[in-house]
């Protein structure tokens, strides 16, 4: 009988040094994990504090924005003018109460084009409209201003009711016109009264039986002069009232100057004045109202005659600029004070007792109607120069 041999397993004893090293490694790993954990706790604590601060700041900003929104809402509601917010598709998104008062309701959801067609009528002026609603007795006048569109295409419309302001302006304009008419009537009466009274005095003297023939002739001549003065004054006023020229023709400038020279030279000789003409116009021509231009230039030359002392010189110069033809009338008279220069072109303003006060006003009106300009250069005791510029027909 065979006997089975059993094998006993023997355990190998552990080396104490290895156990000690393993335990030391475990302890070191535990300490490292503990340090990392503490660091993470510190970071979590710091992030929690930062998040709390950020939340607090955001909360403050949110409260500030809510307060601002409330203030803006109060402001929009209190504004006397209308405010409309339009979307990129020109649809009304928001309005304030003043807008509803001006344009009526409903408005939200409508397009701006619909409002223009149904509730507004053009006044003929840019940005100004009439509003006519069923619950109002008359038209109201408004002015609409638009902001520039933002990046999304939205814009804001501002609406101002100018009905009362416009009515006040119209009343002011009416009062100004009435005042101007009153001043003109007063000046006209003054201008007519003096020569008329003088003519009446002369006429009364003509009726005297004791007058010698030569005295009667002198009085008759003076009476006719006063009546001619009245006629001249009336023509000036009619020309000023019409304020336009329409009999245009082609005029050679040198020919016009020769005509003026023949008209004015006798007056120059009568007042013992030296008259010089410097014509550099060559073959230049103008398409203009010959009679009106002639009258304006004669007015300037006669003014120079009246202002110049005997023995002095008056120069009449015509020269060409690139785009203009220039007429200059220069005298050696006493000059004109700068304060008076601003009023010289006003109707009925004159510095001479025998003046009508319309000559320069008519001259400026005529020159401006031809697309030109007139200016004055003057200083005390150095004379006066009137300069007229008219556009050249063949200028570059």
DSSP output for 110-143? -BHHHHHHHHEEE-SSTTEEEE--TTSSS-EEEE
Per-residue pLDDT at 316: 93
> pLDDT tens track of the chain, all 396 residues?
454 554 455 555 667 777 788 787 888 888 888 888 888 888 888 888 888 888 888 888 888 777 777 777 777 676 778 888 899 888 988 888 888 888 888 888 888 888 888 888 888 778 888 887 655 556 788 889 888 888 888 898 898 888 888 888 888 887 876 776 666 666 666 556 666 777 777 777 777 777 778 887 887 887 887 777 677 667 666 665 555 545 678 889 999 998 888 888 888 888 899 999 999 988 888 888 887 788 788 888 888 888 888 889 999 999 999 889 999 999 988 887 776 767 777 666 565 555 555 667 777 877 887 888 988 888 777 788 999 999 887 644
The domain total for the chain is 4
Laid out side by side, the sheet with 128-131 consists of 92-95, 82-86, 155-161, 140-146, 128-131, 120-122
| CATH code for position 127 | 3.30.450.20
152 part of a folded domain: yes
Examine the domain organization and report whether 269 and 379 are in the same domain: yes
Examine the domain organization and report whether 47 and 95 are in the same domain: no
Examine the domain organization and report whether 368 and 296 are in the same domain: yes
Examine the domain organization and report whether 235 and 247 are in the same domain: no
106 part of a folded domain: yes
Examine the domain organization and report whether 252 and 362 are in the same domain: yes
Examine the domain organization and report whether 321 and 281 are in the same domain: yes
Q: Where is the domain boundary, 98, 129, 161?
A: 161
From the list 227, 206, 230, the residue with the least C-alpha distance to 218 is: 206
16 part of a folded domain: no
2 part of a folded domain: no
- Cβ proximity of 95 and 108 under 8 Å: yes
Residue showing tokens 């016109």: 177
Examine the domain organization and report whether 313 and 254 are in the same domain: yes
Examine the domain organization and report whether 95 and 222 are in the same domain: no
272 part of a folded domain: yes
211 part of a folded domain: yes
Examine the domain organization and report whether 131 and 38 are in the same domain: no
Q: Where are the alpha helices (DSSP H) in 153-212?
A: 163-206
Q: Where is the domain boundary, 220, 241, 262?
A: 241
384 part of a folded domain: yes
Laid out side by side, the sheet with 274-279 consists of 274-279, 313-320, 324-331, 384-391, 373-378
Angle of helix 253-270 versus helix 290-307 axis, rounded to 10 = 30
- Cβ proximity of 87 and 154 under 8 Å: yes
Measure the CA–CA gap between 25 and 17, rounded to whole angstroms. 12
Residue showing tokens 């009246």: 306
Examine the domain organization and report whether 229 and 184 are in the same domain: yes
Domain encompassing residue 150: 82-161
DSSP output for 3-42? -PPP----PPPPPHHHHHHHHHHHHHHHHHHHHHHHHHHH
| CATH code for position 201 | 1.10.287.130
Q: Where is the domain boundary, 241, 262, 287?
A: 241
396 part of a folded domain: no
Measure the CA–CA gap between 330 and 250, rounded to whole angstroms. 27
Examine the domain organization and report whether 233 and 275 are in the same domain: no
| CATH code for position 298 | 3.30.565.10
Examine the domain organization and report whether 38 and 97 are in the same domain: no
């Amino acid at each position: 009988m065979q006997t089975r041999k059993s094998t006993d397993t023997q355990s190998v004893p552990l080396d104490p040094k290895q156990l000690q090293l393993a335990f030391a490694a475990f302890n070191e790993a535990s300490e490292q994990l503990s340090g990392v954990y503490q660091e993470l706790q510190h970071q979590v604590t710091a992030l929690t504090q930062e998040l709390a601060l950020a939340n607090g700041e955001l909360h403050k900003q949110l409260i500030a924005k809510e307060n601002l929104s409330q203030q803006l809402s109060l402001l929009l509601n209190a504004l006397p003018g209308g405010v409309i917010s339009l979307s990129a598709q020109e649809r009304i998104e928001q309005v304030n109460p003043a807008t509803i008062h001006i344009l009526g309701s409903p408005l939200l959801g409508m397009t701006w084009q619909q409002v223009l067609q149904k509730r507004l009528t053009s006044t003929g002026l840019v940005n100004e409209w009439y509003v006519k609603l069923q619950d109002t007795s008359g038209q109201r006048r408004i002015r609409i201003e638009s902001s520039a569109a933002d990046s999304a295409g939205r814009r804001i419309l501002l609406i101002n009711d100018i009905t009362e302001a416009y009515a006040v302006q119209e009343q002011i304009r009416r009062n100004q016109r009435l005042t101007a008419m009153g001043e003109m009537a007063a000046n006209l009466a003054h201008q007519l009264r003096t020569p008329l009274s003088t003519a009446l005095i002369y006429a009364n003297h003509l009726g005297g039986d004791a007058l010698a023939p030569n005295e009667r002739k002198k009085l008759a001549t003076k009476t006719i002069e006063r009546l001619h003065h009245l006629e001249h004054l009336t023509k000036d006023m009619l020309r000023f009232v019409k304020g336009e020229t329409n009999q245009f023709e082609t005029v050679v400038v040198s020919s016009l100057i020769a005509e003026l020279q023949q008209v004015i030279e006798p007056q120059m000789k009568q007042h013992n004045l030296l008259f010089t003409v410097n014509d550099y116009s060559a073959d230049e021509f103008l398409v203009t109202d010959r009679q009106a231009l002639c009258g304006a230039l004669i007015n300037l030359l006669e003014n120079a005659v009246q202002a110049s002392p005997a023995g002095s010189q008056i120069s009449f110069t015509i020269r060409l600029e690139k785009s203009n033809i220039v007429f200059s009338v220069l005298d050696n008279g006493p000059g004109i004070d700068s304060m008076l220069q601003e009023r010289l072109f006003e109707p009925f303003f004159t510095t001479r007792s025998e003046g009508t006060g319309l000559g320069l006003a008519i001259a400026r009106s005529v020159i401006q109607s031809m697309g030109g300009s007139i200016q004055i250069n003057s200083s005390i005791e150095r004379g006066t120069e009137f300069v007229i510029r008219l556009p050249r027909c063949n200028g570059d």
